A = this chain, B = another copy of it.
Amino acid sequence: LDTLARLVDGQLSGDGSIRVSGAAPLYEVRPGVISLLDGAALPTAADLRQLAALVVSEDDPAIACAKLIVSDPRAAFAQIVEYFLPRRGTAGRTPTSLATIDGSATIGPDCQVSPGVVIGPHARIGARCRLMPGVVIMDHSEIGDDCTLFPNVTLYERTRLGRRVTIHAGAVLGAYGFGYQFNGGQHHRTAQLGHVVVEDDVELGACVTIDRGTYGSTRIGTGTKIDNQVMIGHNCQIGRHNLICSQVGIAGSCRTGDHVVLAGQVGLKDHIALGDGAIVGAQSGVMEDLPGHQIYLGSPATTQREQMQIMAIQRRLPELRRSVKTLEKNLQQTAAEPRVNVSVERPAPMSDERAA
């Protein structure tokens, strides 16, 4: 524990000579591990019996175990987890003799090209890139410095990646857009001559697919992060520093501003524009342009405020319907009861009676 305290420059509350067997989050405590208290959950009594120590931001005496007190517990715990991880070894640093690199391609210094990689004619790879097994880079593609492509990523021809781009396994950049002309009962593929441009510091998740532009680019702006299984259609121009969560689908020719957030399973119709800082909630369907700096929900998506009201009423629709039924019954009763025009007639016999 002393060693770990020195590693993360933390203050120790407890016995520094405790031997720590590993690091694990609270949901997987094993005997002797150090864990993290980050507000999400508290250790159970059973956990406390097993834990060697906890990384915390302040010393809570109510939690009975050794503690490592630091200003940023998550960062410190990450360092500790890394300390216990097995060393990566030399994975993939195998000879490039099992990769297929076209003679006209250029590869920058200190690249790692794994077996099974195929690099097409006139491709250009920057410095310090890692191309993992099964990566296919088609002709005339260009990759900036310090990019990492995980296994089985495919870049179609003329794809352009900036610097420090990370692409996870199975992603596909540059497939043909879904554009057809209907003619004589059949669909005929239209021009698919464009390419995909991914700017600096972008991260793309596993099995993401981004289609090429029709004539020009489909573009992902600087710093944008895209989660697994997202689909981005042809000609889209995605802004900078967006967060696009898993399974979002963006149809062709959409544009997003900077700092846009799309939650999981959101869909955008084609040719939609979203303003800077627009946030769209999970499973929403965007059917029209939406201005920035607002939260949107629903399908079709409108402002969160409006949608929350609608959803609240939707949940109480049975109640609303009962109210209407009650109103109808009450009004019918009122109608069945003697009404004014009746009372105008009535006095006559009454006065007759009196007259009698």
Contact = CB atoms under 8 A, between A and B. Distances in A.
Given A133-B118, A223-B186, A314-B317, A138 B91 contact: yes
Interface stretch (A59-67, A204-212, A288-296): A204-212
**Which range holds the interface residue count of chain A?**
35 or more
Given A86-B122, A269-B282, A346-B344, A81 B191 contact: yes
A144 interface: no
Interface string A142-185: 00000000111010111000000010111010011010100001
A57 interface: no
Interface string A297-337: 00110100010011101110110110110011011001101
Contacts of A216: 24-25, 27-28
A203 B229 contact: no
A27 to B, nearest CB: 7
A17 interface: no
Interface string A205-249: 111010101111100000101011101010101000101011101
A72 B26 CA distance: 48
A20 to B, nearest CB: 14
Contacts of A324: 320, 323-324, 327
Interface in A187-213: 187, 189-191, 193-194, 201, 203, 205-207, 209, 211, 213
A94 interface: yes
A334 B225 CA distance: 61
Contacts of A223: 186-187
Interface stretch (A4-12, A46-54, A98-106): A98-106
B169 A150 contact: no
A347 B69 CA distance: 86
Contacts of A175: 150, 168-169, 205-206, 228
A154 B207 CA distance: 11
A306 B217 CA distance: 39
A333 B320 CA distance: 20
Interface in A244-284: 245-247, 249, 251, 253, 259, 264-265, 267, 269, 271, 282-283
Contacts of A251: 245-246, 264
Contact of A134 (B78, B118, B217, B341): B118
A321 B320 CA distance: 7
B207 A172 contact: yes
A89 B115 contact: no
A154 B167 CA distance: 13
Given A102-B94, A215-B25, A264 B264 contact: no
Given A74-B190, A178-B205, A237-B27, A327 B317 contact: no
A211 B231 contact: no
19 contacts: A23-B215, A24-B216, A28-B217, A81-B194, A92-B120, A94-B102, A100-B116, A166-B176, A172-B207, A178-B205, A187-B243, A229-B249, A233-B246, A269-B282, A324-B327, A331-B331, A338-B344, A343-B347, A347-B351
Given A320-B321, A343-B347, 4 more contacts: A28-B216, A86-B122, A89-B121, A283-B299
